[in-house]
Amino acid sequence: MSEASDAKHRRLQELVDDIVARLAKETERGEVADYIPELAKVDPNRFGMAIVPVDTGRAVVAGDGDVPFSIQSISKVFSLTLALEKVGEALWKRVNREPSGDPFNSIVQLEYEKGVPRNPFINAGAIVVADVIMEGLSPKDATNDMLGLCRRLAHDGSVYVDRNVARSERLTGARNRALAQFMAAEGNLRGSVEDVVTTYFNHCSIAMTCRQLATAGMYLACAGIPIGATDASINADRARRLMALMMTCGQYDASGEFAFRIGIPSKSGVGGGILAVMPGVASIAVWSPGLDAKGNSLLGTRALEELVRATGWSVFGRIPDRD
Ligand code: DON
């Protein structure tokens, strides 16, 4: 590594350490998700952050950045990637690409729109995506395919499915079953409701650390060319489109506010994680389990806001030479 890149790495590490230290003192941390009982057990004081810059590929990690957490809806980015790999553009006959403006688990639009979900990042959309991944496979194999993708992208074979979280979701997943039943009634589900939701719950129950997640997000930050590897299945066009959906739909009915405040594509999960990407520059993961009223990490969002303010990162025009 050159001196210049060492200095850059140190500056970014100092910045992230400072953000983590300041947010650690916050007392208003949001509410941990409790509608999935296993998630309610997570310590709200956890806080982790990791950034992998495209130019160095060297991870900057702070706080609890090496502690695994439930990625929940962040998995929807990876499952969409896998489904597109499997069926390509045909997927868009079964799920749309518009922001919903409704909560992630809402059912109201499904009836008006005849069982075709607004986008792949709300629960209904991700359930259709899970159905596509599962076609011709058992839930176990469809789960292993997703786990394989996450391990490959994270360059880490230790990524795992948290069986306790998956069980907890199965035991309390009436609402997701209702979404799946409704789509089955409209002819937009091929597998059995129980198999499809089992696959979906397993996808959501994948556990990753901020370091693993930020590394995995490099296929987006590098617009399809992971450092040190070539992955023909994830091309630049697809990466750009995934990020467009993250920008418009990644934070549910808070996506507009997030674009306004932070201005880079991201995807949140009710485990308190957020994966965010500054295209061509860096992949970022942050984890703080307390959520705001829309189900997005309260302090995770604050951390990203402070990060982009300090670095000048934004897809709406980058302020040069701030890093
Ligand atoms: O299906 C659910 O409700 C959860 N497994 C995932 C929801 C989620 O992460 C929404 N994100 N903010």
For 134-151, the pLDDT digits (tens) are 999 999 999 999 999 999
Q: Are 99 and 255 in contact (CB under 8 A)?
A: yes
Please say whether the dihedral angle defined by the alpha carbons of residues 232, 50, 208 and 295, taken in this order, is positive or negative. negative
Å from CA of 282 to ligand 1 middle: 25
Please say whether the dihedral angle defined by the alpha carbons of residues 239, 244, 250 and 251, taken in this order, is positive or negative. positive
Q: Is it true that domain 73-204 has CATH number 3.40.710.10?
A: yes
pLDDT tens-digit series, residues 81-119:
999 999 999 999 999 999 988 888 888 999 999 999 999
Å from CA of 62 to ligand 1 middle: 25
Of the residues 16, 42, 200, 288, only one is catalytic, namely: 200
Task: Give the residue whose CA is nearest to atom 11 of ligand 1.
Answer: 269
Å from CA of 17 to ligand 1 middle: 29
DSSP 88: G
Ranking 172-186, 236-250, 308-322 by mean pLDDT, the lowest is 308-322
- Is 95's C-beta closer than 6 angstroms to any atom of ligand 1? no
Nearest to 276 by CA among 205, 218, 230: 218
Tell me, what's the pLDDT at 4? 83
> Which atom from ligand 1 is nearest to the alpha carbon of 123?
1
Tell me, what's the pLDDT at 106? 86
Rounded CA separation 272/49 (Å):
12
> Which atom from ligand 1 is nearest to the alpha carbon of 205?
5
Task: Give the residue whose CA is nearest to atom 1 of ligand 1.
Answer: 123
- Is 30's C-beta closer than 6 angstroms to any atom of ligand 1? no
Tell me, what's the pLDDT at 226? 54
Tell me, what's the pLDDT at 223? 77
Which of 34, 38, 69, 73 has the most ligand 1 atoms within 8 A of CB, as the residue to mutate?
73
Query: DSSP assignment of 105-146, as one string?
Result: T--HHHHHTTT--S-TTSHHHHHHHHHHHHTTS-HHHHHHHH
Mean local confidence (pLDDT), 313-319: 85
Residues near 321 by Cβ (< 8 Å), separated by ≥ 6? none
Fold agreement (3-68+209-310, 73-204): yes
The backbone region for 299, taken as left when phi is positive above 0, alpha when psi lies in -120 to 50, beta otherwise, is: alpha
- The Cα-based distances of 167 to 162, 201, 261, 317, 318 in angstroms read 9, 8, 36, 44, 44
How far, in whole angstroms, is CA 133 from its chain's centroid? 17
Q: Are 297 and 288 in contact (CB under 8 A)?
A: yes
- The Cα-based distances of 274 to 28, 54, 246, 284 in angstroms read 18, 18, 11, 8
- Is 269's C-beta closer than 6 angstroms to any atom of ligand 1? yes
Tell me, what's the pLDDT at 48? 98
Q: Which CATH number fits domain 3-68+209-310: 3.40.710.10, 3.20.20.110, 1.20.1530.20, 3.30.70.870?
A: 3.40.710.10
Is pLDDT of 231 > 70? Answer: no
> Which atom from ligand 1 is nearest to the alpha carbon of 173?
1
Mean local confidence (pLDDT), 233-256: 90
Nearest to 170 by CA among 36, 321, 24: 36
- Is 105's C-beta closer than 6 angstroms to any atom of ligand 1? yes
Is pLDDT of 79 > 90? Answer: yes
Å from CA of 33 to ligand 1 middle: 9
pLDDT band at residue 230 using 50, 70 and 90 as cut-offs: very low
Q: Kindly list the domain boundaries of the chain, sorted by start residue.
A: 3-68+209-310, 73-204
Task: Give the residue whose CA is nearest to atom 7 of ligand 1.
Answer: 73
The H or E element spanning position 52 is strand 48-53
Q: Which tokens go with 132?
A: 């596509």
Q: Does residue 73 have an active-site annotation?
A: yes
Please say whether the dihedral angle defined by the alpha carbons of residues 160, 164, 167 and 168, taken in this order, is positive or negative. negative
- Is 169's C-beta closer than 6 angstroms to any atom of ligand 1? yes
Q: Which tokens go with 267?
A: 């995807």
Mean local confidence (pLDDT), 200-228: 88
Rounded CA separation 224/75 (Å):
18
Is pLDDT of 232 > 70? Answer: no
Rounded CA separation 117/106 (Å):
10
Q: Does residue 270 have an active-site annotation?
A: yes
Assign 256 to helix, strand or coil: helix
Nearest to 142 by CA among 88, 193, 198: 198
> Which atom from ligand 1 is nearest to the alpha carbon of 296?
12
Q: Does residue 200 have an active-site annotation?
A: yes
Is pLDDT of 8 > 70? Answer: yes
Rounded CA separation 283/220 (Å):
8
As a whole number, the mean pLDDT across the chain is 93
Residues near 46 by Cβ (< 8 Å), separated by ≥ 6? 63, 64, 67, 69, 272, 287, 288, 289
pLDDT band at residue 283 using 50, 70 and 90 as cut-offs: very high
Tell me, what's the pLDDT at 173? 96
Q: In what order do the strands lie in the sheet containing 48-53?
A: 60-63, 48-53, 282-287, 273-278, 266-268
pLDDT band at residue 1 using 50, 70 and 90 as cut-offs: low
- Is 73's C-beta closer than 6 angstroms to any atom of ligand 1? yes
